[in-house]
Amino acid sequence: MNTIRAFIAIPLPQPLLRELDRVQRRLENKIPPRSVRWVRAAGIHLTLKFLGDTPLEKLPGIEAALWAVARHAPSCTFTVGELGCFPNPRRPRVVWVGVQEPSGRLAALQDAIEEVVVPFGYQPEGRGFTPHLTLGRVQRRASRSDAARIGEVVVATNVGTLGQVAATSFALIQSVLKPTGAEYTTLSEFELGV
């Protein structure tokens, strides 16, 4: 069975990607060397659902289901800003920038996507949707003191609001893992409320 690694996400505008790159460089200068594997800024996106290994024969059905979601989902605007860590700053594994969308439209879109992919074998996330943009992942080999320092730097760094994004579409994206980092190809883009 042929499969691809896929996910569903909202692409981000270039000016915001440049801001995220600046934030990454600012953090990188303050934390222990080689303790975080940074995501290439050009590849940062707002993930709505990670599918993982996806059989090629399921793609047409998934795309049809996503078109149905997009037709009934209104566009929204979200704000990007403020740093955080998963699971928390004391034991950081992921460094992220937060996403705020107070109308609830973004959460409703994510919930609808979760629901329509269940028939294709993708279970809903066990935890609630926490919209964020991943900046980097703490290296497994990072010492406890390095990890603690990363958390301290994240808490102490104020980035304020980095931008607003008008989310008018989302995409089904293929991810190919390479030694130089993941490479992304947009397979389909779905305009909201069309």
- ∠ Cα 127 129 132 (to 5°): 120
Which pair of tokens denotes residue 82? 């403020």
- Domains of the chain and CATH, by start: 3-191 (3.90.1140.10)
Calculated CA dihedral for residues 145, 158, 97, 138, nearest 10 degrees: -10
Q: Where are the alpha helices (DSSP H) in 126-180?
A: 144-156
Catalytic residues: 45, 132
- Tell which residue, 178, 108, 95, has the closest CA to residue 134: 95
H or E element in which residue 116 lies? helix 105-117
Q: What is the CA radius of gyration of the chain?
A: 17
* CA distance linking residue 139 with residue 147, whole number of Å: 9
16 residue type, one letter: L
Q: Residue 193 — very low, low, confident or very high, per pLDDT cuts 50/70/90?
A: confident
Q: What is the pLDDT of residue 180?
A: 75
Which pair of tokens denotes residue 133? 């943009």
Which pair of tokens denotes residue 18? 């440049």
User: pLDDT above 70 covers what percent of the chain?
Assistant: 99
Residue range 85-124, pLDDT digits in tens: 999 999 999 999 999 999 999 999 999 999 999 999 998 8
Q: Residue 169 — very low, low, confident or very high, per pLDDT cuts 50/70/90?
A: very high
Q: What is the pLDDT of residue 194?
A: 58
